[in-house]
Amino acid sequence: MTNTDVGQIVRNTRIFFHLIVVAAIVIFLNYANKTSHSSAGSRVPERIIYSNWTEYNGDGDRSHYSTISQINKGNISRLKVAWEYASGGVDTVGNRSQIQCNPIIINGILYGVSANTQAFALDAANGKELWKTNIADNGGTTSRGLTYFADNNSKRVFFGAGRWLYALDAETGKAIFSFGDSGRIDLKKGLERPGADNYVVSNTPNTIYKNLIITGTRVSESETALLGDVRAFDALSGRLVWTFRTIPAKGDPGYNTWSPNPRQHMGGANSWAGMAIDRERGIVYIPTGSAAFDFYGGNRVGDNLFANCLIALDASTGKRLWHYQLVHHDIWDRDPPAPPNLLTVISKGKKVDAVAQITKQGHVFVFNRVTGEPLFKIEEKAFSTKAIAGERPSPTQPIPVLPAPFTRQIFTAKDFNSFVADKDSLAGILKQARTGEIYMPVGKEMTIIYPGTDGGAQWGGAASDADGILYVPAKELPCFTSLKDVEKVSENASLTGIKLYNTHCASCHGKDRSGTHDGSYPSLLGIEKRLSADAILNVLAKGKGMMSSYSHISIQQRKAITDFVLNRKTKIAVEKSKIVQKKVPFQMTGYNRWYDKNDYPVNTPPWGTLTAIDLNTGKHNWQIPLGEYKELINKGIPVTGTDNYGGPLVTASGLIFIAATRDEKFRAIDKKTGKIIWETQLPAAGYASPSTYAIDGKQYVVIACGGGKLKTKSGDKYVAFSLSD
């Protein structure tokens, strides 16, 4: 062997050794990266395969649908609790806290909102908390979830809390200070008008299109409501990009459907329920709310475009492409309650990309999503225009011929249930009321609204699948209300707490302070045992949950109301300049759900339903009662269904998962037949929509259990289910 050969062997040995060392380093670094849990971004092993739930109601179509199919009818008996997470902030004294959040799950991280409205991130495999916010100024808002955005440089979640829209780092939960004003946008800016209050929140997740976040808001429903414009902001900087004026300015389309200068005198027409987005076509579909005040429109003569509409906008520019008004000149609070569903149906023998909008009245409106053409005939039907002084109702309203309504439409004496208590006295009350027709203007007499003012369908929305089937949860409870004259305050008035309470608070909490029967608006009797004077003043100043801010009245008046509800006898003198005189001459007497003395709805069941509607034909496939009263079943009464809040989840394996009911149960239903095939008891009622996701093929279904409505206990847990091994 030559010296040259020996040298070559030595060199080869060194190279081989170096290669082994390099390989060892690479293996070590790869292992370290896979096992690191230092942040939500670096903790995710590359080898794991994820199936995500990327946005509110699952996707931009708002379908509530997932292609994951591990859990099926054959193995669902093995479904068990995988983990629970206590989010914190539960109200254990008054049972008033809620969780309405539909969590999103992206690459093994679950993003949700706690019972006291703090955003958080969890390891979705085990429920371990990764981060949680501590935002003090959240306005007591009830949030329905977060919005996720990612580009090559950052991953962020947007979180509506109080009047603010926050941008948070998805890995740490920290504010992104380059967005807006030190990490947040003040949503009130740009919505102001003369005489408006300060109440605005964004409690439904917003919609991402490219680098835009398209936002709707919730504003108050009184005559002091802010404007309801829809806006798009740059998702990185927070800069305002476009605005669509839902109450038109002079020169805008629709301006002549209002009394003059409506943007100076009216508010509302806001997009509070959420939107759907066709990202391929660049079209965003926006349902809009009623103009405020909800139950009297004598000061807003005309059809009031673009309130109560489904609007298709160019998502890049905000330009209107088409619209359809679902209710003309709404004086019943009949705005669409949920985002529309985007799906594909067979219409006249051809596949058509459609948009379907459910309503509180129990109707489904179905349109070609590109042209706005109705896929089923819609008739303009005549209704009564006999109304209170000054009111000018629309002579017609649009009614779809198909699909058939998924709720009953009118209430008469024959609709009292067979076991209703005090039927004779209730029948006597009904004889004095206005009933028997939909779209009957509310007057000074008791007026029946059926289904009730919050549905029919409600904010949980409907699910849809690839077969063109819509799955709609709903409720059927009669509601009654009336209008009364607003008491005018004289120039040198001496205002008492009771007078101020009757003016500003009695329509929701009741003249006797007992709240609504179902607890939607709480009783204020005994409130001194639950809240301090400072806490009540804070709620009056900022609003909380469904209650809007009363910052537009003076601190003196807010103190007088506080003293009244705390049973303190006070009398204050208020300067004329401090008195907020109502311009609308009437106020409503409350959102009164009609129950008998035994706490059951007075109408014939079902009181809550789930309906499968074939949007290819407009026909119902099935309808079942949703929810139960165990004590009635024990008496031999068939399942009645219950009041419900929250939406369904549909999976490719043919299952529907839904909680929503006041009996605190979580159910799985065969989507073909409507048969309940699995159910379990939750720690508190799940008044929210479930989500599903998978990690390395293992499917999880998760539901927020916040309770706190319908006189049920509050909770703070998220519960995830998976198949037992």
pLDDT the model gives residue 581: 62
- Residue 3, pLDDT above cutoff 80: no
pLDDT the model gives residue 395: 98
Lowest mean pLDDT among 51-60, 574-583, 624-633: 574-583
CATH architecture, domain defined by 56-102+614-725: Beta Barrel (2.40)
For residue 683, the 8-state DSSP code is S
Decide if 56-102+614-725 and 487-581 have a common fold: no
**pLDDT for the residue numbered 511:** 74
> Which DSSP string do the residues of 530-566 spell out, in sequence order?
T--HHHHHHHHHH-BTTBPP-TTS-HHHHHHHHHHHT
Distances (CA, A) of 56 to 145, 240, 263, 296, 421: 7, 23, 31, 33, 42
| Cβ within 8 Å of residue 393, ≥6 positions away | 329, 331, 383, 384, 385, 387, 439, 441
* Mean model confidence pLDDT for the chain: 90
What pLDDT, on the 0 to 100 scale, is given for residue 25? 40
| 314 token code pair | 């160019």
Q: What is the pLDDT of residue 74?
A: 98
Q: Which residue type, as a one-letter code, is found at position 497?
A: G
Strands, sheet with 691-695, edge to edge from the N-terminal-most edge strand: 50-51, 691-695, 698-707, 714-723, 79-86
Q: Which residues, other chains included, contact 166 with Cβ-Cβ below 8 Å and sequence gap of 6+?
A: 119, 135, 158, 159, 160, 175, 183, 184
- The amino acid present at 502, given as its one-letter code, is N
Distances (CA, A) of 323 to 223, 247, 313, 319, 542: 25, 14, 9, 11, 34
Going along 301-382, which residue ranges are E strands? 309-314, 320-325, 341-347, 350-358, 364-368, 378-382
**Is the model's pLDDT at 721 over the cut of 50?**
yes
> How is 615-657 classified by DSSP, letter by letter?
TTTTEEEEEEE----HHHHHTTPPP----B----EEETTSEEE
Domain ranges, ordered by start, for the chain:
56-102+614-725, 487-581
In the chain, what are the helix, strand and coil shares in percent, each to the nearest 5? 15, 30, 55
CB 655 within 8 A of CB 64: no
* Region 570-580 average pLDDT: 57
Q: How far apart are CA 94 and CA 526, in angstroms?
A: 11
- The second-level CATH assignment, the architecture, of 487-581 is Orthogonal Bundle (1.10)
The whole-number pLDDT of residue 267 equals 98
pLDDT 10s digits, 110-167 = 999 999 999 999 999 999 999 999 998 887 779 999 999 999 999 999 999 999 999 9
Q: How far apart are CA 603 and CA 324, in angstroms?
A: 33
Name the amino acid, one letter, at 417.
N
The structure tokens 């208590």 sit at 421
Tell me whether residue 404 is exposed, middle or buried, using C-beta atoms within 10 angstroms of its C-beta: 0 to 12, 13 to 18, 19 or more: middle
> Is residue 12 pLDDT above 70, yes or no?
no
For residue 569, pLDDT beyond 80? no
CA distance 53 to 701: 11
CA 73, CA 128: separation in Å to the nearest integer? 29
Three-state DSSP class for 206? coil
pLDDT at 517: 64
With a cut of 70, say whether residue 527 has pLDDT above it: yes
In this predicted structure, which of 59-73, 364-378, 522-536, 559-573 has the lowest mean pLDDT? 559-573
Mean pLDDT computed over 36-43: 37
Chain CA centroid to CA 381, Å: 30
What pLDDT is attached to residue 41?
41
pLDDT at 14: 52
Residue-level pLDDT at 552: 65
- Residue 234: pLDDT above 60? yes
Edge-to-edge strand ranges of the sheet holding 276-278? 276-278, 283-287, 309-314, 320-325
- Residue 496 one-letter amino acid: T
Tell me how many degrees the CA angle 709-713-714 measures, rounded to the nearest 5. Answer: 75
pLDDT for position 34: 34
Chain CA centroid to CA 519, Å: 18
Give the tens place of pLDDT for each residue, 447-503: 999 999 999 999 999 999 999 999 999 999 999 999 999 977 665 555 677 777 777
- 628 vs 642: CA distance, rounded Å: 6
Which helix H or strand E contains 24, and what residues bound it?
helix 3-35
Rounded to whole angstroms, what are the CA distances from 693 to 108, 110, 402, 651, 702? 9, 10, 35, 11, 9
Tokens for 399, please give them.
């009614």
Please give the Cα distance from 612 to 623 (Å, whole number): 6
Q: How is residue 105 written in tokens?
A: 């799950």
For the stretch 336-357, pLDDT in tens is 999 999 999 999 999 999 999 9
CA torsion through residues 253, 257, 263, 264, sign: positive
Whose CA is closest to 451, among 599, 340, 294, 608?
A: 608
463 in Cβ contact with 471 (< 8 Å): yes
Q: How far apart are CA 369 and CA 356, in angstroms?
A: 9
